[in-house]
Structure 1
């Protein structure tokens, strides 16, 4: 968390859009909450068609995000990856980021990267939108991806 540069996303009117949310089951207490915050953000933005899917870990997020991107106007991917003592963290983070970016570009559908890549459980809790969190990545990622979907919709107009 840089602590500066936040675009201060406002809720958008995304009525009529369809949203897919995919979350990992690793660190399920945090991801469950992030999913609830994502659903709440979608509702606040007028989205009523929301489908949630769960996968084992963050590496599995891109493939389900791709399936969702083929059916929905926007997708939010949520997970938590905490650095351990090996390079596995780096490979997982790179794989997830590259995969989600590829899905968005290949499918021309906004895919929100709400995967927390942190050094500690405390950092994850600070970003998960809990009562005492500094950030709310479930909410912020959802509003950002809906905003991008609206921008694409506007660009598609003749």
Structure 2
């Protein structure tokens, strides 16, 4: 469904598992900090709201979205107790191909880390044409992608634990 028709923070159509038994890491890019800070706050608050204990949320900043993949890899390699890793970032289209390379690398990297470790690694990266679109998806009129990433982490951690 097109984002303009959907609120990223509306979960009325789904059941959300309780997160009391889960340990979840949030890796957040510092680049575009105004946006990623809002994404982080949404993810953190949503995890707490759904039962994840504050001490079971590991928060780690990284310089930019490109570094999200290696941070998730390091966390899952060194911390076997994690049930999921949420990767939060924001890449805004510019005048060069840099946008395409970063977005592609991060999306593929997150997928590969998840497959390698058989753990949910959640792609919570905004890839927008301009700053206003990012604001609209980081707590603005389209909700918060951070909320969506946290719910996805809970659902996938529950899925993994249920198998």
TM-score, shorter chain, exceeding 0.5: yes
Residue 102 (1) aligns with residue 121 (2): no
Residue 88 (1) aligns with residue 98 (2): yes
TM-score, normalised to structure 1, is 0.90
Deviation at 1:35, TM superposition (A): 0.8
CA contact (8 A) 1:11 1:44 kept: no
Is the partner of 1:64 in helix, strand or coil?
A: helix
Deviation at 1:90, TM superposition (A): 0.3
Q: Counterparts of 1:44 and 1:77 in 2: how far apart (Å)? A: 19
Aligned length: 153
Q: Counterparts of 2:112 and 2:22 in 1: how far apart (Å)? A: 22
Q: Which residue of 1 aligns with 2:41?
A: 36
CA contact (8 A) 2:47 2:150 kept: yes
Q: Counterparts of 2:162 and 2:58 in 1: how far apart (Å)? A: 24
Deviations 1:43-89 (A, max 9, x none): 01111100111111110000111122342100100010001011110
Residue 145 (1) aligns with residue 153 (2): yes
Superposition RMSD on alpha carbons, in Å?
A: 1.7
CA contact (8 A) 2:85 2:122 kept: yes
Q: Counterparts of 1:54 and 1:108 in 2: how far apart (Å)? A: 23
Deviation at 1:34, TM superposition (A): 1.1
Q: Which residue of 1 aligns with 2:76?
A: 69
Q: Counterparts of 1:32 and 1:11 in 2: how far apart (Å)? A: 24
Higher RCO structure (Cα 8 Å, ≥6 apart): 2
Deviations 1:4-59 (A, max 9, x none): 58783443212110000001011101111111111111101111100111111110
TM-score, normalised to structure 2, is 0.88
Out of 1-10 and 35-44, give the one that drifted further: 1-10
Gaps of 5+ in 1: none
Q: Which residue of 2 aligns with 1:50?
A: 57
CA contact (8 A) 2:16 2:154 kept: no
Is the partner of 2:85 in helix, strand or coil?
A: strand
Gaps of 5+ in 2: none
